[in-house]
Chains A and B, each alone.
Chain A
Amino acid sequence: MDLTLKVWRQKNRNAQGALEKYNVSGISENASFLEMLDVMNEQLINEGTEPVAFDHDCREGICGSCSLYINGEAHGPAKNVTTCQLHMRMFKDGETIYIEPWRSAAMPVIKDLIVDRSSFDRIQQSGGFVSVNTSGNTQDANALPIPKMNADKAFDAAACIGCGACVATCKNSSAMLFVAAKVSQFAYLPQGQVEAKQRVKNMVQQMDNEGFGNCTNTGACEIECPKSISIEYIAKMNREFLAATFSTSE
């Protein structure tokens, strides 16, 4: 296939960016989207131009590195996939494709298509854990049975890859889905109960501090989330949060 690419180029955090046009040809429809970008970059290198920088690592949809806004959609047109799992068969020969970075004040562009997602890490550091030390004498793993349904729900929430598509796609740049996923994972497990209240308060507080917007329940995040994290978890977190704020015993 032959394609026209309009790619966001930005030298560094402080520079102004702009879309640049590149043409690529002879792309196989079995190639992945990132492999198509590899071809483009190889071309740029051969011309002596700096290749386009983008984040990627596992290229199988699990590390959460890749983060492209393609034709106005986070992770592109296919549902439930990351950019690296997107294949060129989703596009038409001769098409023009717009490729941009995530856009959110809490995730500034570092260069070209790469953004700074450290705000996500800081939210996790504020409470996304169970306070248990490594000791070698924690109780036996099977001492505490957990209903399969709860374990499965916790797992589904824990499947979040921290990519940031939910934020990028939200008109308010809200990180609710991401935060709710972590809060809910622990809320469904007995191990998470002890610190439940403090956890949700701290994480929500940190989310606000980072400058993410408010959630107005538009549900766009759920649609674009490559891991199909459900907005039910946002409801779950809201309940946790209310319980924590109105609780008297601290």
Chain B
Amino acid sequence: MSILDSKIPKGPLKDKWTNHKNNINLVSPANKRNIDIIVVGTGLAGASASASLAEMGYNVKAFCYQDSPRRAHSIAAQGGINAAKNYQNDGDSIYRLFYDTVKGGDYRSREANVHRLAEVSGNIIDQCVAQGVPFGREYGGLLDNRSFGGVLVSRTFYAKGQTGQQLLLGAYSAMNRQIGKGKIQMFNRHEMVELVKVNGKARGIIARNLETGKLERHGAHAVVIASGGYGNVFFLSTNAMGSNVTAAWKIHKKGAYFANPCYTQIHPTCIPRSGEHQSKLTLMSESLRNDGRIWVPKKIEDAKLIRQGKLKPTEISEENRDYYLERRYPAFGNLVPRDIASRAAKEICDAGFGVNQTGEAVYLDFTSAIKRYGKQEAAIQRLENPSESKIIELGEVIVESKYGNLFQMYEKIVAQNPYKSPMMIYPAVHYTMGGVWVDYNLMTSVEGCYCIGEANFSDHGANRLGASALMQGLADGYFVLPYTIGDYLSNEIRTGKISTDTSEFEDAEKSVADRIRKLINIQGTKSVDHFHKLLGQVMWEYVGMTRNEKGLKIAMKKIKEIRDEFWKDLRIPGDQFSLNSELDKAGRVADFLELGELFAKDALSRNESCGGHFREESVELDGAQKGEAKRNDKDYAYVTAWEYKGEPENSKMHKEELEFNDIELKQRSYK
């Protein structure tokens, strides 16, 4: 058996999950009452898992760093969630969702996992509706759908531009029901800072109470990490300010392999940065690309005038606009996958066509959509010969009903009315496909330690399709983990309560306390943010949208230098036994400073372009796909899983070869 046993069940792809579920060992209800599970994180993945596990009868302890589980970063997801319901009768099916996801991921994900995801996707929608999630509906009372990038069907369910909020509040309500019953013990404002292993098995965690600074020991029969993605390694991203890699990194250091850290999604439609003070970037949902058209001026002189504020976008005539996505990718147009749309924006801005002061922005224009909807609406209302202004008025109402809150959000930030003047957008770091390596059961390489949601690596390969993260988070939490964990726990029914009065817990607690003391005692001169920003600049410059060997080597060296400086010159005012946000941040940035180096090392090791990972050395040199990313299946059709060996640069690579039996590997084409 190779070190990386993915435990993919035998048999035909479409029967694997059903057969596996039928063969999983079960834990009797009486025994479940004696088994404790720790869930770190209350986003879609963690909240749905906590609720489902508690409903099944396990005792759950759930942790989040915010003051309430409802505030997990999933709350910010805007556009929607995919499911193969085929309500629109447009040819969708489980197979098609599976196929789109594997293709969208540029053939770097596990077939069996993705198929399972597609299989349970429909149940997610049923479950959410039953909980009272108010999805968008049509006038007939049935659920409405929209399309997202990289696919040709409408399978995305949504609740205005607040889908993540509504789904999370649904999962949160399911959690609340169990908290009320005492089946879930909730620990708000608590951060998991260490994994405790006993005889090789995950048996608990050390958590820090962020209000009092006290360290706490928590024992359990299994530990589930659902701590989200690590996009904040770039400092600026669309992630919440507190999103971090700490929980995932702690288990990595305790033996969980970290897979494909370099697979990052840079989202094409975000509000461009405005200045030095910038603390985060705001996403404008991909759903906007359903109706918005992306363009830059055709003439470079016009772009210059716009940047100088001497010309307005509305003054540029149709024939002088370059709808470059529609031009380059006629089949998918504005709905090409994210990695492609982002690189195209970077290329066109690098060529001098950018439209804001920094030269890093393109337009997203709703004029055509407003007119189209206006005409439709005029017809529905039986208006004869409606005036142009009436059509626009009617169209704006429809656009508002679809994207109102996004337009409002844009206007609040940029102080411009996007109904009247096109939005400006630019790519930003958004999501991390890489993460903790897990097998088919979602168990990491540490026995009894699981990882779900964005924190794991499993389903999106090298690029995630829009509206698939919410689907994966809820699939993992509601429908996969609650079953697969039973297989492991069925062997734990005789273990008895996990005591925290052991040397393992004591040692773990001590190492955490030492590290905190060390951080506080540096007493240097620079703030945590200072180092975080430096790290972010290096990541964005050398490990961002395009990467090359030379740059990646520089990045590794620089990150190590920043890390050394951090441990010499950091200043954390305040003390450790009270609420101290600087200390919280310092712990997280210390982990980012290690992850960043591994990230660059991983990117260096993969000398091919695939999905969000674009190596300048690997592009198509001629033919119809000239200039597009070139994948190399012969040498790189594997998952890279890194084993921790002290310094990140010494990490050891393991490979999980990917087998494609049901899908033929093809060059991705959206032309």
Contacts and interface: CB of A to CB of B under 8 A. Distances in A.
Contacts of B123: 136-138
Interface string B567-596: 000010110001111100000000000000
By DSSP majority rule, is chain A's interface helix, strand, loop, or mixed?
loop
Interface of A: 11-12, 27-28, 30-32, 34-36, 38-39, 42, 44-46, 48-51, 53, 55-65, 78, 80-81, 85, 87, 89, 110-111, 114, 116-118, 120-121, 124-126, 128-134, 136-142, 144-148, 151-152, 154-155, 158-159, 161-162, 185-186, 189, 191-192
B666 interface: no
A191 B186 CA distance: 26
B412 interface: yes
A59 B573 contact: no
A140 B124 CA distance: 10
A11 B73 contact: no
A39 B277 contact: yes
A126 B177 CA distance: 8
Given A65-B71, A121-B68, A154-B132, A42 B529 contact: yes
Contacts of A161: 75, 165
A63 B176 contact: no
Contacts of B130: 130, 132, 138-139, 191
A189 B162 contact: no
A155 to B, nearest CB: 4
14 contacts: A11-B578, A35-B278, A58-B75, A58-B241, A60-B283, A62-B76, A62-B165, A120-B68, A129-B174, A132-B131, A137-B123, A138-B130, A139-B130, A189-B134
Given A78-B412, A124-B173, A189-B132, 20 more contacts: A11-B578, A12-B578, A38-B529, A50-B580, A51-B573, A58-B73, A61-B412, A63-B75, A63-B240, A116-B67, A130-B130, A130-B132, A133-B55, A134-B478, A136-B479, A141-B143, A142-B142, A148-B139, A151-B137, A158-B166
Contacts of B52: 133-134
B279 A35 contact: yes
B277 A45 contact: no
Contacts of B94: none
A134 B123 CA distance: 9
Interface of B: 48, 51-52, 55, 66-71, 73, 75-76, 85, 87, 120, 123, 125-132, 134-143, 159-160, 162, 165-166, 169, 172-174, 176-177, 179-180, 186, 188, 211, 240-242, 274-280, 282-283, 408-409, 412-413, 415, 478-479, 482, 525, 527, 529, 571, 573-574, 578-582
A53 B579 contact: yes
A138 B159 CA distance: 20
A186 B258 CA distance: 42
A155 B160 contact: yes
A60 B282 contact: yes
B131 A45 contact: no
Q: Which 9 A-B pairs have the closest CB atoms?
A: A145-B141, A129-B173, A155-B134, A125-B180, A141-B129, A154-B134, A31-B277, A50-B574, A134-B52
A128 B171 CA distance: 11
Contact of B67 (A65, A138, A159): A65
Contacts of B51: 134
B478 A118 contact: no
Given A121-B68, A129-B173, A51 B73 contact: no
A60 B409 contact: yes
Given A64-B70, A189-B132, A138 B173 contact: no
Contacts of A39: 277
